[in-house]
Chains A and B, each alone.
Chain A
Protein backbone atom coordinates (compact mmCIF):
# COMPACT_ATOMS: atom_id res chain seq x y z
CA UNK A 1 0.00 0.00 0.00
CA UNK A 2 1.94 3.03 -1.28
CA UNK A 3 -0.71 5.62 -0.32
CA UNK A 4 -0.40 8.76 -2.46
CA UNK A 5 2.47 8.98 -4.92
CA UNK A 6 3.54 11.89 -7.10
CA UNK A 7 5.74 12.10 -10.17
CA UNK A 8 8.09 13.73 -10.87
CA UNK A 9 9.76 14.71 -7.58
CA UNK A 10 11.53 17.71 -9.07
CA UNK A 11 11.37 19.56 -12.37
CA UNK A 12 12.87 22.66 -13.93
CA UNK A 13 10.92 24.40 -16.69
CA UNK A 14 11.53 27.42 -18.86
CA UNK A 15 8.85 30.09 -19.09
CA UNK A 16 6.23 29.05 -21.61
CA UNK A 17 6.89 25.31 -21.43
CA UNK A 18 4.17 22.87 -20.48
CA UNK A 19 4.16 19.87 -18.20
CA UNK A 20 1.88 17.43 -16.41
CA UNK A 21 2.18 16.35 -12.79
CA UNK A 22 0.82 12.92 -11.99
CA UNK A 23 -0.81 11.88 -8.73
CA UNK A 24 -1.82 8.31 -7.98
CA UNK A 25 -3.52 6.81 -4.93
CA UNK A 26 -4.15 3.17 -4.08
CA UNK A 27 -6.62 3.69 -1.22
CA UNK A 28 -9.73 3.73 -3.42
CA UNK A 29 -10.47 7.30 -2.29
CA UNK A 30 -13.22 9.25 -4.01
CA UNK A 31 -11.82 12.73 -3.45
CA UNK A 32 -8.53 14.09 -4.72
CA UNK A 33 -6.91 17.52 -4.47
CA UNK A 34 -4.04 19.55 -5.83
CA UNK A 35 -2.39 22.17 -3.62
CA UNK A 36 0.53 24.50 -3.97
CA UNK A 37 2.73 25.44 -1.03
CA UNK A 38 4.67 28.68 -0.97
CA UNK A 39 6.85 29.96 1.89
CA UNK A 40 4.84 31.65 4.64
CA UNK A 41 1.49 31.03 2.92
CA UNK A 42 0.46 27.55 3.98
CA UNK A 43 -1.28 25.42 1.37
CA UNK A 44 -3.64 26.76 -1.24
CA UNK A 45 -6.10 24.60 -3.13
CA UNK A 46 -5.73 24.68 -6.92
CA UNK A 47 -8.34 22.17 -8.10
CA UNK A 48 -10.12 19.21 -6.64
CA UNK A 49 -12.23 16.24 -7.72
CA UNK A 50 -15.10 14.53 -5.94
CA UNK A 51 -15.09 11.52 -8.22
CA UNK A 52 -13.93 9.99 -11.47
CA UNK A 53 -14.68 12.30 -14.39
CA UNK A 54 -15.39 15.36 -12.21
CA UNK A 55 -13.23 18.36 -11.36
CA UNK A 56 -13.79 21.72 -9.69
CA UNK A 57 -11.84 24.93 -9.12
CA UNK A 58 -10.23 25.72 -5.83
CA UNK A 59 -8.77 28.92 -4.45
CA UNK A 60 -6.04 29.51 -7.08
CA UNK A 61 -7.01 27.71 -10.34
CA UNK A 62 -5.69 30.17 -12.93
CA UNK A 63 -2.94 28.79 -15.15
CA UNK A 64 -3.69 25.16 -14.26
CA UNK A 65 -5.90 22.43 -15.67
CA UNK A 66 -6.74 19.03 -14.24
CA UNK A 67 -8.21 15.72 -15.31
CA UNK A 68 -9.54 12.71 -13.42
CA UNK A 69 -10.04 10.05 -16.09
CA UNK A 70 -9.43 7.20 -13.64
CA UNK A 71 -10.44 7.08 -10.00
CA UNK A 72 -6.90 6.46 -8.82
CA UNK A 73 -5.22 9.22 -10.86
CA UNK A 74 -5.43 13.00 -10.76
CA UNK A 75 -3.36 14.98 -13.26
CA UNK A 76 -2.34 18.62 -12.95
CA UNK A 77 -1.32 20.42 -16.13
CA UNK A 78 0.52 23.66 -16.72
CA UNK A 79 -0.03 24.75 -20.31
CA UNK A 80 2.38 27.70 -20.33
CA UNK A 81 4.54 27.83 -17.22
CA UNK A 82 5.30 31.18 -15.57
CA UNK A 83 7.88 32.02 -12.86
CA UNK A 84 4.96 32.69 -10.47
CA UNK A 85 4.19 28.96 -10.66
CA UNK A 86 7.48 28.09 -8.99
CA UNK A 87 6.29 26.21 -5.93
CA UNK A 88 5.96 22.84 -4.24
CA UNK A 89 2.87 20.97 -5.41
CA UNK A 90 1.09 18.48 -3.22
CA UNK A 91 -1.59 16.01 -4.14
CA UNK A 92 -3.97 14.65 -1.52
CA UNK A 93 -6.88 12.26 -1.37
CA UNK A 94 -9.68 11.52 1.06
CA UNK A 95 -12.30 8.88 1.59
CA UNK A 96 -15.97 9.57 1.02
CA UNK A 97 -16.80 8.46 4.55
CA UNK A 98 -14.28 10.80 6.23
CA UNK A 99 -13.67 13.28 3.48
CA UNK A 100 -12.05 16.05 5.45
CA UNK A 101 -9.17 13.78 6.58
CA UNK A 102 -6.78 14.23 3.67
CA UNK A 103 -3.76 12.07 2.93
CA UNK A 104 -0.87 13.77 1.16
CA UNK A 105 1.77 12.70 -1.30
CA UNK A 106 5.46 13.63 -0.92
CA UNK A 107 5.25 16.65 -3.22
CA UNK A 108 6.72 17.86 -6.52
CA UNK A 109 9.17 20.75 -6.46
CA UNK A 110 8.80 22.89 -9.60
CA UNK A 111 11.15 25.65 -10.63
CA UNK A 112 10.16 27.87 -13.55
CA UNK A 113 12.98 29.97 -14.97
Chain B
Protein backbone atom coordinates (compact mmCIF):
# COMPACT_ATOMS: atom_id res chain seq x y z
CA UNK B 1 0.00 0.00 0.00
CA UNK B 2 0.87 3.67 -0.05
CA UNK B 3 3.53 4.93 2.34
CA UNK B 4 4.37 8.59 2.98
CA UNK B 5 7.65 9.60 4.60
CA UNK B 6 8.15 13.11 5.94
CA UNK B 7 11.37 14.91 6.86
CA UNK B 8 12.59 16.43 9.04
CA UNK B 9 10.68 15.52 12.18
CA UNK B 10 11.69 18.82 13.79
CA UNK B 11 12.76 22.03 12.05
CA UNK B 12 13.95 25.15 13.84
CA UNK B 13 14.38 28.36 11.82
CA UNK B 14 15.00 32.00 12.62
CA UNK B 15 12.03 34.31 12.24
CA UNK B 16 12.06 35.77 8.75
CA UNK B 17 13.95 32.85 7.22
CA UNK B 18 12.45 30.21 4.95
CA UNK B 19 11.39 26.69 5.95
CA UNK B 20 11.17 23.63 3.72
CA UNK B 21 9.51 20.33 4.63
CA UNK B 22 9.79 17.32 2.30
CA UNK B 23 7.66 14.24 1.76
CA UNK B 24 8.08 11.19 -0.42
CA UNK B 25 5.37 8.77 -1.46
CA UNK B 26 5.54 5.23 -2.73
CA UNK B 27 2.45 4.74 -4.91
CA UNK B 28 2.82 6.33 -8.35
CA UNK B 29 -0.99 6.30 -8.68
CA UNK B 30 -1.33 8.95 -5.95
CA UNK B 31 -2.71 12.14 -7.46
CA UNK B 32 -3.61 14.48 -4.61
CA UNK B 33 -1.19 15.92 -2.04
CA UNK B 34 -2.47 18.18 0.75
CA UNK B 35 -0.60 19.88 3.56
CA UNK B 36 -2.16 20.39 6.97
CA UNK B 37 -1.13 22.61 9.87
CA UNK B 38 -1.91 21.51 13.42
CA UNK B 39 -1.63 23.98 16.27
CA UNK B 40 -1.38 22.78 19.84
CA UNK B 41 -4.66 21.34 21.11
CA UNK B 42 -6.43 21.71 17.77
CA UNK B 43 -7.32 19.55 14.81
CA UNK B 44 -5.33 19.68 11.56
CA UNK B 45 -6.24 22.48 9.15
CA UNK B 46 -5.77 22.29 5.40
CA UNK B 47 -3.39 25.05 4.27
CA UNK B 48 -2.56 24.14 0.69
CA UNK B 49 -2.92 21.21 -1.69
CA UNK B 50 -1.71 20.18 -5.13
CA UNK B 51 -2.83 17.70 -7.73
CA UNK B 52 -0.59 15.57 -9.92
CA UNK B 53 -1.24 17.59 -13.06
CA UNK B 54 0.38 20.68 -11.48
CA UNK B 55 4.06 21.17 -10.60
CA UNK B 56 3.78 24.10 -8.22
CA UNK B 57 1.15 26.06 -6.35
CA UNK B 58 1.50 29.23 -4.29
CA UNK B 59 -0.66 30.99 -1.74
CA UNK B 60 0.93 34.11 -0.29
CA UNK B 61 3.90 32.95 1.83
CA UNK B 62 3.39 29.22 1.31
CA UNK B 63 4.03 27.12 -1.75
CA UNK B 64 4.02 23.44 -2.60
CA UNK B 65 6.09 21.76 -5.31
CA UNK B 66 5.59 18.30 -6.76
CA UNK B 67 8.08 16.08 -8.58
CA UNK B 68 6.11 13.11 -9.93
CA UNK B 69 9.16 11.41 -11.39
CA UNK B 70 10.96 11.35 -8.06
CA UNK B 71 7.68 10.91 -6.15
CA UNK B 72 8.28 13.69 -3.71
CA UNK B 73 6.60 16.96 -2.80
CA UNK B 74 7.65 19.83 -0.58
CA UNK B 75 6.14 22.64 1.46
CA UNK B 76 7.92 25.99 1.36
CA UNK B 77 7.19 28.77 3.84
CA UNK B 78 8.89 32.11 3.24
CA UNK B 79 9.37 35.02 5.66
CA UNK B 80 8.44 32.82 8.62
CA UNK B 81 6.53 34.38 11.49
CA UNK B 82 5.91 33.22 15.09
CA UNK B 83 2.39 32.10 14.17
CA UNK B 84 3.87 29.60 11.73
CA UNK B 85 5.05 27.52 14.70
CA UNK B 86 3.01 24.30 14.56
CA UNK B 87 3.14 20.68 13.42
CA UNK B 88 2.81 20.26 9.67
CA UNK B 89 1.55 17.07 8.03
CA UNK B 90 1.74 16.00 4.42
CA UNK B 91 -0.59 13.39 2.95
CA UNK B 92 -1.24 11.57 -0.30
CA UNK B 93 -4.34 10.14 -1.91
CA UNK B 94 -5.23 8.12 -4.98
CA UNK B 95 -8.75 9.42 -4.93
CA UNK B 96 -11.42 6.77 -5.36
CA UNK B 97 -12.02 5.71 -1.75
CA UNK B 98 -11.04 9.20 -0.54
CA UNK B 99 -8.48 7.89 1.91
CA UNK B 100 -5.51 10.04 2.82
CA UNK B 101 -2.21 8.43 3.83
CA UNK B 102 -0.40 10.73 6.22
CA UNK B 103 3.21 11.54 6.95
CA UNK B 104 4.39 11.46 10.57
CA UNK B 105 4.53 15.24 10.89
CA UNK B 106 7.15 17.99 11.23
CA UNK B 107 7.31 20.23 14.26
CA UNK B 108 8.27 23.70 13.01
CA UNK B 109 9.78 26.05 15.58
CA UNK B 110 10.23 29.72 14.73
CA UNK B 111 12.94 31.32 16.83
CA UNK B 112 12.52 35.06 17.60
Q: Enumerate chain B residues within 8 angstroms of A90, measured Cβ to Cβ.
A: 43-44
Interface residues on B, range: 20 to 34
Q: Enumerate chain A residues within 8 angstroms of B93, measured Cβ to Cβ.
A: 100
> Is A50's CB under 8 angstroms from B98's CB?
yes
Q: A43-B89, A48-B98, A48-B99 are in contact. Are A101 and B46 (CB under 8 A)?
A: yes
> Is B104's CB under 8 angstroms from A42's CB?
yes
Q: Enumerate chain B residues within 8 angstroms of A107, measured Cβ to Cβ.
A: 41-43
B73-93 vs A, CB cutoff 8 Å, 1 = contact: the mask equals 000000000000000010001
A34, CB-defined interface residue at 8 Å: no
* 14 pairs from A and B in contact (CB 8 Å cutoff): A31-B98, A40-B105, A41-B104, A42-B103, A43-B89, A45-B99, A48-B98, A56-B97, A99-B98, A100-B93, A104-B36, A104-B43, A104-B44, A104-B45
- What is B's interface to A at a CB cutoff of 8 Å? 4, 6, 9, 32, 34, 36, 41-46, 49, 89, 93, 95, 97-100, 102-105
